[in-house]
Each structure stands twice: as structure tokens, then as C-alpha cells.
Amino acid sequence: MPGSTWQARWTASGAEHAADWRILAVTPLAAGRTETAVSNLKSRFSRGLSVLICADVIRPSLGWLLATPSPKNLATALARSRDPQGFAVLNDQCQRLAVGDWARGIALARIAMIMAGKGGRAIDITAGDCIQMVQPAAEATKASGRDRGYRSAFFYQLVRSLGRFPDNAPASTRAFHVHGQMSVEEMIDRYGIQCRPIRDLLVDYLRELQAGSDYATVLQLSYVLGKLFWRDLELHHPGIASLGLHHEVAAAWKLRMQVKTTTTVEGGELVERHTPRLSAIQHLGNVRTFYLDIAQWAADDPARWGPWVAVCPIRDGELTSGRAKTAAARKSRMDQRTRERLPVLPTLVTAAENRRQRATQALAAVLATEPGREITIDGQALRRAEHSPESGTHLWAEDPATCSRRDLKAEERRAFWAWASIEVLRLTGIRIEELTELSHHSLIQYRHATTGELIPLLQITPSKTDAERLLVISPELADVLATIVTRIRQPDGGIPLVSAYDYHERIWNPPMPLLFQWHWRLEDRPLSPNMIRQLINDTLASTELTGASGAPLRVTPHDFRRLFITDAEMSDVAADASFSGRRERFLAGA
């Protein structure tokens, strides 16, 4: 092979581009050999390559290491030859966390691959090395059609636990999987607009609005103007290049805007369904504002905006009547949701409390049982798994009759946070975004100027109204918050700092002592809004409640807000301004 070094010869060999490099290596030597001899030759080549990798003579690419069937057991080979102390520390950490053999093997294999591809020992691995592993792992997952542990983040947490990463290093590889903010060009280019001048106009328009708007608003507007408005016109009227729409074109587009088309799979076939678009009036208002803004800006900068001034195809009267109808329909839907859910709220609260108590008792009972022994819980016989230590993330118990397994720690964890979410939402009426942003700093006190009494308050960070609010903590809410704080508090008394991902702004927030967090192996994770929704509906599903249509009843976090307002109005209690929208300050009911 050409090349002055082993690495150069390895690269020139083409082995990394072959499905199985051993076939490429053995083929010139296979003539006249038996099948057994060829197989033995492959094994010798594999062992030889393993020696070269462990000696840092050859550094294969991470993508090849993830996909190649050989050499195997690199972690064992590197632990024996290059870094016995480092792998001993990593194994001790896995044992302390009671990590299963499969998860441990996957993590150590990933660490070994980084060492093989980058050189050095485990302690020399950087956060950047781990980032470079994430993309090939995702590609390997896609190529294989199944996960096989490729996207497991535990290897990163293990390396991070060695203490060599900088303080600002992400706590998990989850930070590498999420999409960050797009530029306005990327927002518009998602929709493949054919008319370049119109595409550039939309980009310039969004850039003008960007300075005074948040990211989520600009992203939503790009969807309305780029896809629902202009791209729809291009699909139905190819070659269109002017904002001045003929009456027939505008009328047809407005009719299409009223309907949302979704594609579902039924009986193995794709079926299109057409349903009314509930936000059609809002989208029409966005397009009308676009036309009016262009006309207004043209007065200040005619060279830039003047060529695009056109008659708006949406009259103000259309929006006025449409908004009234939309508001009435929305109020009717929300009132119906409230009427269905208000009577069953006590049932949901009781179910959440009962599930939490049962899960806690079941976990305690199994923890007190020796591995391999049977115990009866709520009339069900369970046998604690043989290899199920107390310190692990999981605690498995299986039904002796069916051999089905239950993770009692996961059940207790989910039951607790379902109960906590339901209690805080129903007792405060806050939004789901505000719930996930509650932190230890949100718990403050106010001393009454006259009586000197200390009043506990819950500080709500700005969200929809961009205004902070203070809620008086009732005794019932105080018990719930105290239980949450006790659960997440570390042995040293501190609250773990976690970074939460803002799904609206698509950024990672700075580390905060968030209240809604749980510990997973080596990482403290915040509960996402989607997880909270799932936990609530899992609890509701256990009640087997149904709605007026007979379908299983579902509850969203925002339903608790409506129920809170309705209950406050029915109880003749003064509500927070942010709840009712009719007051500017919170009137604390003393």
C-alpha cells in the first residue's frame, strides 16, 4: 500500500469504505486455501488490527468503528493495553450506579471508539470528541434501521464524571441533538419558494420584524407568509410573481386557508382528511398586516419597499366579522371543555394521590425483599429480579406466572411527578411554561408591614404577559412544594442546577435549581412540557373516564388554568389579573 506511515497505508487501502474490511484483506491470500483456513486468516487479521489500534499506530474514523463487525471488544483490549486505570474508574462508576451490563457495555464501547479514533486515554477525551461521536452515531442508527444503543448518551455522562470537562460543557448529549435557532433565510427556504424576488421580500420583511419580536413569533409568521400564503399561491398558480392578486385568485386562496388538510394511514392506505382551520382568521390577519406594513414602510423608504405595494386582498370587515365568529366558537369549545372536566377534577386528584401512594408502597415493599424472593402487592404476586440492586436507576420485579417485568422505580417516579404536576397546576392555575420554569428561587417571603406576619409567595417568571406575578402560597400548596423540594434536595442540602431547553426560543437556558427535575443515572434532567402532559394523561387514563362523545377523556395543562379561573369565579374569590385578564394586580385573598 502507498504511504510513508501505517495511518497513510490504512487510509489508502480503502478498508474503511468496504462492507467488511477483512474480505478486502483476505482476498489476495485466499487462493488455494480451505474455508476454515480463510476464516482463521480473518481472525488473525482482526487480532492484528486490534493490536495496531491499541498501540495507536492506526486511528480509524468514528463512523467506521461504529459500523465495522471487526475488531470486537475494543474496550477490553484498550483497558488491558493502554488505559487500565481509566477503565477501572469507569467500571467502578458503573458499579456504583448499578448500571446494567448492556448499558455499561455500550458506554464503554463508545469511549473505546473515541480513544481508538482520537488517541490518548479516557481522561484525555474532550467534550468536542464526544460531539464528533454524536453525528456518526445518528448516521449509524439511520443506516441500520434500529437503535442498537448508538444514540445512548451514557458514554458522555461517564466521561464527564471524570471531572476533566469545563464547567460550561453540556450536561448531556441531548444538547447536540436539538435544533437551534434558524436564520430568517432558513425559515423561508424551508418551503421552496420559486419566485426569488418574493422570497427575498419575505426575508427582508421578517428581518425588519426580528428586532422587536421573539423567535417563536417570527418562526410562526414565516410559516404563515412562506407556506400558507405564497407557496400555496405558487402551487395553484405557477409563475405568479406579484403581490397584486386578481379577485378570483385571492378568493380561492382565502377559501383554501379555511381548511386544513392532514394525511393519515388507515388500513395501510394514505387518507386525506379536511378539517376547519381554527386559526384561519389569525393567519388572514397576519397576511393583511404584511400588506399594510409594506405600504407604510414604502412611504419612508420608497426605493426598497415601493415596488411591492399592492392592494390588500383581505378587507378589514372580513376580519372583524370573522374574529367575532372565531371568538364565539372558541369560547363555546372552551366552555364545553370546562363543563366536562370540572366535575371530574376531584376524581383525577384522588387518582393521582392513590397512584403515588401505591407506587411508593410497592417500591418500599420490593426494596425490603431479597432478590429472587416473591412478594404480594395489591393482590399481585411479584418476584424481585435477581440482579436488581437498590442503588440502580431501575428496580425490576416480574410476575412469576407471565414473566412480565415492572420497573418499580420508574413507576414511582412517574406517579410522583404526575401527582406533583396536577397539584401545582390546579392550585395555582399557572401555564405549563411557567410550571417548568419554577425554581427554588421562586419561593420567597413577604413580611406584612402592619402585622409583621411572614407570607409565603410563589414568584412566577414572565411568560405570555411579560410581567412577573406573585401568588400567595396556600397551606395545601405549601405541602406540595415542600414535598417536591425534599425529593430533589441533595445530601448536602443543595438543589441540583439543571439546564432546560426552551422549545419556543430553541435555546438552552442557564442552569437553574428547577423544582420539576428528576435524576437519571449521572444526570439531573428537567421535566419537559411533553413529559408533564403525558404523565397527567396517564393518570387520567387509569380512571377510565370518558367525555360526552364516549371517547377517553383527556386533560391538557391549560385546562387546569381554566378550571382554576372557573372555580375562583364560582367561589366569588378575586382572581389574579393574569388569569382573568381584567385586573392589573394580584389581589391576595387574605
Of the listed ranges 162-166, 248-252, 390-394, the least confidently predicted one is 390-394
- 253 domain-assigned: yes
All three cell numbers of 186, joined, read 432558513
Nearest Cα residue to 58 out of 1, 130, 117: 117
Kindly report the three-state secondary structure assignment for every residue of 50-71. HHHHHCCCCCCCHHHHHHCCCC
Q: Do the beta carbons of residue 320 and residue 331 sit within 8 Å?
A: no
Q: Is there a single domain that holds both residue 549 and residue 492?
A: yes
Count Cα neighbours of 174 within 13 Å in the Cβ-side half-sphere.
16
* 369 vs 582, higher pLDDT: 369
Q: Is there a single domain that holds both residue 499 and residue 533?
A: yes
- 481 domain-assigned: yes
Question: 50-54 — which CB contacts under 8 Å span 24+ positions?
Answer: 50/74, 50/77, 52/6, 53/77, 53/116, 54/78, 54/81, 54/82, 54/116
- The residue from 158, 177, 196 where one domain ends is 177
DSSP one-letter string for 460-503 = EPP-SSS--EEEEPPHHHHHHHHHHHHHH--TTSPPPPB--EET
How many structural domains is the chain composed of?
Answer: 3
- 202 domain-assigned: yes
Cα–Cα distance measured from residue 340 to residue 408, given in angstroms and rounded to the nearest whole number: 33
All three cell numbers of 498, joined, read 439543571
User: Using one digit for the tens of pLDDT, what is the confidence trace for 492-545?
Assistant: 999 999 989 998 899 888 899 999 999 877 788 999 999 999 999 999 999 988
Amino acid symbol at 184: V
- Alpha-helical (H) ranges within 342-463 are 345-367, 408-428, 432-436
Q: Is there a single domain that holds both residue 570 and residue 435?
A: yes
User: Using one digit for the tens of pLDDT, what is the confidence trace for 72-86?
Assistant: 889 999 999 999 999
**Measured CA distances, 216 to 98, 229, 291, 445 (Å):** 42, 18, 21, 34
User: Using one digit for the tens of pLDDT, what is the confidence trace for 443-454?
Assistant: 999 888 888 889
Q: Is there a single domain that holds both residue 171 and residue 251?
A: no
**Measured CA distances, 158 to 6, 129, 136, 361 (Å):** 31, 14, 19, 32
- 62 domain-assigned: yes
Q: Do the beta carbons of residue 199 and residue 192 sit within 8 Å?
A: no
Q: Is there a single domain that holds both residue 88 and residue 157?
A: yes
Q: Is there a single domain that holds both residue 53 and residue 173?
A: yes
Q: Is there a single domain that holds both residue 57 and residue 105?
A: yes
Q: Is there a single domain that holds both residue 283 and residue 191?
A: yes
- 41 domain-assigned: yes
- 10 domain-assigned: yes
CATH number, position 351: 1.10.443.10
Residue 315 region, left (φ>0) first, then alpha (ψ -120 to 50), else beta? beta
- 514 domain-assigned: yes
- The residue from 290, 314, 338 where one domain ends is 314
- 55 domain-assigned: yes
User: Using one digit for the tens of pLDDT, what is the confidence trace for 85-144?
Assistant: 999 999 998 888 777 788 889 899 999 999 999 999 999 999 999 988 888 887 777 776
Cα–Cα distance measured from residue 452 to residue 454, given in angstroms and rounded to the nearest whole number: 6
- The residue from 156, 177, 198 where one domain ends is 177
Q: Is there a single domain that holds both residue 193 and residue 272?
A: yes
Neighbouring residues of 266: CB distance < 8 A, sequence distance ≥ 6 = none
Question: The pTM is what?
Answer: 0.82
**What is the distance, to the nearest Å, from the Cα of residue 519 to the centroid of all Cα atoms in its chain?**
16
Q: Is there a single domain that holds both residue 105 and residue 195?
A: no
Q: Is there a single domain that holds both residue 194 and residue 53?
A: no
Q: Do the beta carbons of residue 107 and residue 152 sit within 8 Å?
A: yes
Query: Which residue range is the domain that position 548 belongs to?
Result: 346-368+406-580
Neighbouring residues of 28: CB distance < 8 A, sequence distance ≥ 6 = none
Q: Is there a single domain that holds both residue 30 and residue 126?
A: yes
